[in-house]
Structure 1
Amino acid sequence: MISLLRSFSWQELRHHPWRNAAAVVAVMLGVALAFSVQLINASALDEFSSAVRSVNGQPDLELRATQGSFDEAVFARVARQAQVTLASPVLEVPTLAMAGERRLPLRVVGVDALVLPSIAPALMPRPAEGSDRLALLAPGHVFLNAAARKSLGESATNVQLRVGTQWQTLNVAGQVAAGGAALAVMDIGAAQDLFERGGQLTRIDLRLAPGADRAVFIRSLRQSPGWPAGIQIAEPGDAAQRVSNLSRAYRVNLTVLALVALFTGAFLVFSVLALSVAKRAQQFALLGVLGVTPRERLRLVLAESIVLGVIGSAAGIALGTALAQFALQVLGGDLGGGYFEGVAPTLRWSTGAAVLYGALGVLAAGVGGWWPARAAQALPEAQTLKGLGSAPPRGSAHGVALLLIAAGVALALAPAVFGIPIAAYLSVGFLLVGGIAALPWLIAVLYDRLAPLFARRVLPLLAIERARRMRGTAAVAVSGVVASLSLAVALTVMVASFRDSVTRWLDVVLPADLYVRSAAGGSSTSEQAAFSPTFVQSLAQLPGVTRTGTLRTRALLLDPSRPNVTLISRSLEEHAGQSLPLLGAALPVPAGQIGIYVSEAMVELYGAEPGTVFEPLARAWSTGTAGERSTPPVFFVAGVWRDYIRQFGAITMDARDFERLSGERNVSDIALWLAPGTHTGTVEQAVRTLASRELGAGEPIEIASVGQIRATSLRIFDRSFAVTYWLQAVAIGIGLFGIAASFSAQVLARRKEFGLLAHLGFTRAQVLAIVAGEGAAWTAIGAVAGLVLGLAVSVVLVHVVNPQSFHWTMDLLVPWARLLALCAAVLAAGTVTAWLAGRAAAGHDAVMAVKEDW
């Protein structure tokens, strides 16, 4: 008997390769997308961690400035501690290097070469052949890592570095083994002199004595008299952990998005096996007569689904590996997220991840095959052998559907878990399953009211009556369309809402006509500000320029376990709401306090509520060895603004306050407002001429109009979300294939019914019209349910998943025209699909099928 069952399943899989291939492809795509995302992000994160370890070495503790640098007197103070056996001073300066006509970001690391072998051997300079072995202690010499040599040329003997507003030429004396982004190593004293950072450090690496208690040592440092408040003490792995935290929500969202294909693939497996069971219904009934139990029939169909899942998962793992390798070579490992800038990872294949995602593919196929397996188990043998069809599927209980939907709503209100919206994703799943379970009830509600309207029209009446009376069958048939269409609607609404919010956000943050940026100061890897107040005043006096505004950014490390916060110094209007996209009105700043405006992420991550004093910024601002200022600044949170760039927080203050506190007046970005009718090209040329005269011919500046910046920003946005459109198309295609498979299964089981209609005088065209009408009626239900469920899911994505993942909010925008066009296209495709599936049912075989019982 077992051999008979194996042969039965094998013949089905072997004789219908194309139909089964569709289910395999669905599982393969889902597994491949999810596995490739896992490999790409794991490889990038692992490469970044390796680069951090090679550059930072393996100290026990790191002392870092919360912003900028700190006095090197801290080094002497810490090195004298009894628990410290080794202290390594470091000065890191992000700058630019000249490579032909290009300017590349480069990080210069000043080190004490005498202590490097013990604490950071990867940074130990290795002199080139013929170079002076003491070049590492001499000024004017640098040692490049592999990334820098590749960018600047393997045979380069010198390199030009941006120092302030000038370019300095240094000799390339050798190389270092450190990986990661481009960097140059030089003696710390030479680096301090070159960049005019005399007596300044950015980091101190510490090696503690054996048996020293880290927690006690950290506490003793922080509580010691006069300890600078602007220095953070961190574990050596915190840098990699910060990037892991930074990219975690991005990685999870990409993975969930990729699993959408696997979720809809389960419905395709269901449709394929439902078709297979319907076509072999009499064979299953015959097996039952021959002694095969209903449970054995269930196991038989489940085994077929598992086989399809195993084949699809194996192919998906192979395809996912190839996709990951291609993406790492083309995209650099960040998939558009920008979290691993400067990292060129190699593929790190993971057996554990392959097994996990392969198991998910098999599980999806097994879930998809469960309902058809139950249908095969429940076949009435005698009735099926006579060709009278199988028992109609039972509709889901209303209570179960309502319970699932209620659970989905409750989960949507739950907070994130470790910064990941796990409950929100479960909410989406419960809403989808609950909505699909409620389809029979929805069919009854709609068509019980529509049926009387078609009482005098035979063909529409037959189509609607079948939908009414076979509501369970109809619900099963359109479940794939509901699942895929609802996800497509949700993604469409989410992307449209995000794009509209970004567009309106750009309107506020880009109020000027032209923007001038220093390529040295405006780079994401540099905080050098090359534009002096004199240059800004000269720009304001150019013909056609009515006024100017300035901007400068600085990185702040408020929490060692989190990524840097960005401090933005910019020219604010008298009313901050005119310059910032504030949420609500700005609060009046109390006398003697400094008003700051924080992004939404600052409220959630640091508790910077409007109307409160933000003490972490005051602590970060107080640097030096002698303790804090006599009157430390008090920062008052005057408002919250939307920021769609800096996911982990930004603080804005007026440029005048920043200059008064820091003494720094140079800026990196200048906004220009032009007089009405002024030609932007004329002003751009005047700006370049002025920059060449006052800053030097080699000064790298970038000039862009507000229209160019908007167009570039939106083009990047559309490219970043292009994958969602592809996933929508895949999901809709899978749903329509499910309709085709379901209708094929139905018409095969109803051959005698269609043959009887032919004997009663119905023409072939009329029979096809009935089938197409049923397809339209059933797909219409799927379109309505998919639209409603999609809107509900979009609310969760926009108002729950997005804020919990990225700490910013957006306004919900429903693109009704696009959604109605999508539903109309699905309705038309479902009708045509049903008509094509019914063509075989209206032929000669259907007529002859009626004679089988004569």
Structure 2
Amino acid sequence: MLALLRTFSWQELRHHPWRNAAAAVAVMLGVALAFSVHLINASALGEFASAVRAVNGQPDLELRSVQGNLDESLFARAATHPQVVLASPVLELSTYAIAPGPDRRRVPVRVVGVDALTVAAMSPALMPLPAPGADRLALLAPSTVFLNPAAMAALVPGGLAGASGPSLQLQSALALRAVSVAGTVNAPGAPLVVMDIGAAQDLFGAAGRLSRIDLRLQPGTDRSAFIASLRLPAGVTAGEPGDAAERVSNLSRAYRVNLTVLALVALFTGAFLVFSVLSLSVARRAQQFALLGVLGLTPRQRLRLVLVESLLLGAAGSAAGIALGTALAALALRLLGGDLGGGFFAGVAPPLQWEGAAALLYGLLGVAAAGVGGWWPARAAQHLPPAQTLKGLGAALQTGQHRAVPLLLIAAGVLLAQTPPVAGIPLAAYVSVGLLLVGGITALPWLIGLTYDRLAPWVSRRLLPLLAVERARRVRESAAVAVSGVVASLSLAVALTVMVASFRDSVTHWLDVVLPADLYVRAAMGTGAADTVYFPPELVREVAKLPGVKRLATQRFVPLQLDPARPAVALISRDGDGMGRGTALVGEALPVPEGQIGIWVSEAMVDLYGARPGQVFAPLSAFFRPGPSAEQSFSATFFVAGVWRDYARQSGAIVIDRHDYERLTGDRRVNDLALWLADGADAAQVQAAVRRAAGSGAPGADGLDTGLEFASAAQIRATSLRIFDRSFAVTYWLQAVAIAIGLFGVAASFSAQVLARRKEFGLLAHLGLTRRQILAVVAGEGAAWTAIGALAGLLLGLAVSVVLVKVVNPQSFHWTMDLAAPWGRLLALCAAVVAAGTVTAWLSGRAAAGRDAVLAVKEDW
């Protein structure tokens, strides 16, 4: 009997390779996409964490400031503490390096100033290695730097020829300072420049300031008691050295999880395709199963037989998916680096880090998906009545469920959509999406009956449409099985289309609000270099007086570490002539009470820090301490006057009036300029005037090359939308894959059903229908079935899109958006599915409506 069962299953897989290949390919693509996304993100995160560990070294504690830099006097207190074995001061800066040569590439780099006496013991990867023939004490020399491999490749591709290295330029404010390359360091990661901490302080005007202090403690030291004994000033925190990598991991976690879930869309669709293929296979082989039952095969053995077939399909698809996913990940890392569009690992080019445990997990997911898809067909094979089935009775596919089941699934999905996230991940929302899809698909027989019961009277006098509609009505379970794969894929494609369109539409409107000026001038590309690359106050005043400039507004970016476990919050100081201008406010702004300072927070601040409108945001007060040039010394109270949408920073942003910020800190530096031009002013002439002012107004501008970036609102808008489209490129591919799998499933389902209906076609031919008419009936069935599938997919997709837009995105990224349905694209998508299903049914019918179909009728004579 065992040999007979093996032969039975093998013959089924061998004689119907294309239909079974459809299910295996669906599983393969799902596993490949999910596994490749995991490998890319794991490789990028591992490389980033490795670089952070190399740069941070192996201290026990790090002292950092939540605002700006540390005062150097704190180092003396920490270094002389009896429980401190070693203290190492570090100055970290982000700036731009200008490569030598005619092209003068402007490369963003990270500058790390270290103490030559402690760096080898604390951070070996930052220990300078002088070039052959160079002075061993070159690290102590002013204006001397050492580059890591990434910086060498970007700035000195030819390498170091001798003791006298090439000369580079590092940007400080708008001036370029010449430095010479004396050697290398072994630190991995993005371009890194290492120099003596004193030389770095002098070069960047940071005398007396530190970024962090690394501490190594006596063995057995109680860290909590030690931190308390230091009596750290307000705004200084002591954290673990791995906090930086952990913060980036937490920041990118939502993006990684969402990408993985979207990649599993193909696997979810594959489960329905396995269900469809095996359901039709069981229906076609019903009499064979019945004969095996008469020969002694028990119902449980029939169940196991179909399950084994589904698991074999899943195993084959998973094995191929792991191989394909590895190849896709390697190709993506080679071509795109570690950044899949989220911007979290920009500049990181990691090698592929293959994980056997992850490969096993995703392979098992593929097998499990195939097993779940094969469970219901296996149950159908188990419950076949052998005697009735052998007589041609009871062999019809029975998958109908009580009407309450889909309603309960949909209701549970709606309730779960209201559940808050778990550890910042919308797990309940993902389950809600799954329940909505399963509930909607299980309701297909009811939807088919509801639709075609009302359509039947309209076609009762037309033979060919009547045959197509009546078959859909009478075998609604088979119709539901045939289109379940396309419903799953189409609904998810519709949901992703609506989500991306809503996001893009919201970003477009947001850009229209936040870009009110005619011309924008930027000194630094991001907040990381905001303290190093900036406009001096005297230059801002000079630009405001230039001909053609009607009005000028400024912005200053400062990172604030409000929570050591989270990424820094962006504090934005800007001109406050009505803070609603240039900020996409959600609701109305509140009046600021007398004696308090108004702030406007992004939506992420509300979710992550509880900064609600009308309340005092106490955490910010603790981190404002007056700078050396501040006019007053007082404790400020910050009132949340409004909430605004910020699609640029998911970790949170706070807007404060420029005058309030300068009064509290004494910091008058500026990072961005917004210029409103006078009527008739030429933008190119204004740009040239700003460049001339920057060249003459920047102090110490030896070898000046400002590197200023000018852009109009339209240019920034176009660039931002191009970045947006690149970020969602993976999503677009996932949509295409899901639709392709669904259509492949329709083709497999119709092929199986049409080939199994040769006797029916033969009978119709004997009754006088021509081959063309039979093909018209088959095509009509295809149109009828895929039309109801397209309708169900559209409705389900719209329901899922509401969950994605209104629940998943706010819970994952802490921003809201307006729902926008691109009806033209959605209807075109549905029309394409119906057309593909109709053509597929017609092509399948051609193979079964010929002479063989007529001869097949003799089998019943």
TM range (shorter): over 0.9
Q: How far apart in 2 are the matches of 1:512 and 1:120? A: 46
Q: Does the C-alpha gap of structure 1 residues 493 and 300 become closer, same or farther in structure 2, counting only changes over 3 Å?
A: same
The more displaced of 810-819 and 439-448 is 439-448
For the residue of structure 2 that corresponds to 1:497, the secondary structure is: helix
2:726 equivalent in structure 1: 719
Shift of the alpha carbon at 1:521?
A: 6.7
1:199 to 208, 227, 244: 208
Q: Does the C-alpha gap of structure 1 residues 688 and 134 become closer, same or farther in structure 2, counting only changes over 3 Å?
A: closer
1:87 equivalent in structure 2: 87
Matched, 1:367 2:372: yes
Matched, 1:70 2:70: yes
Matched, 1:851 2:858: yes
Matched, 1:543 2:547: yes
Q: 2:695 touches 2:706 (CA, 8 Å); kept in 1?
A: yes
TM-score (norm 2): 0.94
Shift of the alpha carbon at 1:263?
A: 0.9
Q: How far apart in 2 are the matches of 1:200 and 1:725? A: 47
Shift of the alpha carbon at 1:562?
A: 0.5
Q: How far apart in 1 are the matches of 2:10 and 2:118? A: 69
Matched, 1:239 2:240: no
Deviation string 1:59-90 (CA, Å, 9 cap, x unpaired) is 11111011221211111222233322221111
2:536 equivalent in structure 1: 532
Shift of the alpha carbon at 1:314?
A: 1.1
2:91 counterpart letter in structure 1: L
Q: 1:572 touches 1:579 (CA, 8 Å); kept in 2?
A: no
Deviation string 1:214-240 (CA, Å, 9 cap, x unpaired) is 12222343xx3xx42111111111111
2:489 to 479, 484, 495: 484
The more displaced of 70-79 and 12-21 is 12-21
For the residue of structure 2 that corresponds to 1:325, the secondary structure is: helix
Q: 2:173 touches 2:535 (CA, 8 Å); kept in 1?
A: no
Q: 1:88 touches 1:206 (CA, 8 Å); kept in 2?
A: yes
Q: Does the C-alpha gap of structure 1 residues 184 and 812 become closer, same or farther in structure 2, counting only changes over 3 Å?
A: same
Q: Does the C-alpha gap of structure 1 residues 610 and 41 become closer, same or farther in structure 2, counting only changes over 3 Å?
A: same
Shift of the alpha carbon at 1:17?
A: 3.3
The more displaced of 777-786 and 54-63 is 777-786
Q: Does the C-alpha gap of structure 1 residues 815 and 442 become closer, same or farther in structure 2, counting only changes over 3 Å?
A: same
Q: 2:93 touches 2:532 (CA, 8 Å); kept in 1?
A: no
Q: How many residues align?
A: 848
Shift of the alpha carbon at 1:597?
A: 0.8
Q: Does the C-alpha gap of structure 1 residues 772 and 380 become closer, same or farther in structure 2, counting only changes over 3 Å?
A: farther
Deviation string 1:811-854 (CA, Å, 9 cap, x unpaired) is 11112222122212212222222222222332222222222222
For the residue of structure 1 that corresponds to 2:346, the secondary structure is: coil
Shift of the alpha carbon at 1:384?
A: 4.7
2:228 counterpart letter in structure 1: R
Matched, 1:38 2:38: yes
For the residue of structure 2 that corresponds to 1:841, the secondary structure is: coil
1:539 counterpart letter in structure 2: V
For the residue of structure 2 that corresponds to 1:184, the secondary structure is: strand
Q: Does the C-alpha gap of structure 1 residues 707 and 92 become closer, same or farther in structure 2, counting only changes over 3 Å?
A: same
1:434 equivalent in structure 2: 439
Matched, 1:18 2:15: no
Q: Does the C-alpha gap of structure 1 residues 73 and 212 become closer, same or farther in structure 2, counting only changes over 3 Å?
A: same
Shift of the alpha carbon at 1:664?
A: 2.4
Q: Give 1:53-452 correspondences, 5 Å limit.
A: 53-100=53-100, 101-153=104-156, 154-155=159-160, 156-221=165-230, 224=231, 227-382=232-387, 384-385=389-390, 390-452=395-457
Q: How far apart in 1 are the matches of 2:110 and 2:732? A: 38
The more displaced of 162-171 and 274-283 is 274-283
Query: Identity across aligned pairs (percent)?
Result: 71
2:789 counterpart letter in structure 1: G
Shift of the alpha carbon at 1:458?
A: 2.5
Q: 1:756 touches 1:847 (CA, 8 Å); kept in 2?
A: yes
The more displaced of 247-256 and 270-279 is 270-279
Q: How far apart in 1 are the matches of 2:775 and 2:78? A: 87
Shift of the alpha carbon at 1:498?
A: 0.2
2:49 equivalent in structure 1: 49
Q: Does the C-alpha gap of structure 1 residues 691 and 525 become closer, same or farther in structure 2, counting only changes over 3 Å?
A: closer
Q: How far apart in 2 are the matches of 1:210 and 1:392? A: 72
For the residue of structure 1 that corresponds to 2:98, the secondary structure is: strand
For the residue of structure 1 that corresponds to 2:553, the secondary structure is: strand
Deviation string 1:314-368 (CA, Å, 9 cap, x unpaired) is 1111111111111112222121111123322111111100000000111112222
Q: 1:617 touches 1:635 (CA, 8 Å); kept in 2?
A: yes
Q: Does the C-alpha gap of structure 1 residues 277 and 480 become closer, same or farther in structure 2, counting only changes over 3 Å?
A: same
TM-score (norm 1): 0.95
Q: How far apart in 2 are the matches of 1:661 and 1:49? A: 36
Matched, 1:730 2:737: yes
Matched, 1:579 2:588: no
What is the aligned-residue RMSD (CA, Å)? 2.2
Q: Does the C-alpha gap of structure 1 residues 460 and 206 become closer, same or farther in structure 2, counting only changes over 3 Å?
A: same
2:684 to 659, 678, 681: 681
For the residue of structure 1 that corresponds to 2:580, the secondary structure is: helix
Q: 1:229 touches 1:623 (CA, 8 Å); kept in 2?
A: no
Q: How far apart in 2 are the matches of 1:128 and 1:243? A: 34
Q: How far apart in 2 are the matches of 1:643 and 1:212? A: 43
2:560 equivalent in structure 1: 556
Q: Give 1:626-641 correspondences, 5 Å limit.
A: 630-641=633-644
Q: 1:622 touches 1:629 (CA, 8 Å); kept in 2?
A: no
1:147 counterpart letter in structure 2: A
Q: How far apart in 2 are the matches of 1:570 and 1:309? A: 57
Q: Does the C-alpha gap of structure 1 residues 378 and 628 become closer, same or farther in structure 2, counting only changes over 3 Å?
A: farther
Deviation string 1:615-661 (CA, Å, 9 cap, x unpaired) is 22222222789x99741122211111100010100111122222222
Shift of the alpha carbon at 1:197?
A: 1.6
Q: How far apart in 2 are the matches of 1:841 and 1:192? A: 83
2:570 equivalent in structure 1: 566
Q: How far apart in 1 are the matches of 2:632 and 2:301? A: 81
2:773 equivalent in structure 1: 766
1:594 equivalent in structure 2: 597
For the residue of structure 2 that corresponds to 1:842, the secondary structure is: coil
1:795 to 802, 806, 818: 802
Q: How far apart in 2 are the matches of 1:238 and 1:812? A: 37
| Unaligned stretches of 5+ residues in structure 2 | none
1:828 to 835, 850, 858: 835
The more displaced of 684-693 and 464-473 is 684-693
Matched, 1:472 2:477: yes
2:661 equivalent in structure 1: 658
Matched, 1:705 2:712: yes
Shift of the alpha carbon at 1:276?
A: 3.7
Q: 1:593 touches 1:633 (CA, 8 Å); kept in 2?
A: yes
Q: 1:614 touches 1:634 (CA, 8 Å); kept in 2?
A: yes
| Unaligned stretches of 5+ residues in structure 1 | none
2:818 equivalent in structure 1: 811
Deviation string 1:730-757 (CA, Å, 9 cap, x unpaired) is 2222222222222233333333222222
Q: How far apart in 2 are the matches of 1:781 and 1:677? A: 59
Q: How far apart in 1 are the matches of 2:686 and 2:177? A: 30
Shift of the alpha carbon at 1:389?
A: 7.7
Q: 1:70 touches 1:623 (CA, 8 Å); kept in 2?
A: no
Q: Does the C-alpha gap of structure 1 residues 485 and 245 become closer, same or farther in structure 2, counting only changes over 3 Å?
A: same
1:566 counterpart letter in structure 2: A
Q: How far apart in 2 are the matches of 1:751 and 1:508? A: 64
Matched, 1:514 2:523: no
1:10 counterpart letter in structure 2: W
Q: How far apart in 2 are the matches of 1:19 and 1:577? A: 59
Q: 1:521 touches 1:530 (CA, 8 Å); kept in 2?
A: no
Q: How far apart in 2 are the matches of 1:541 and 1:76? A: 46
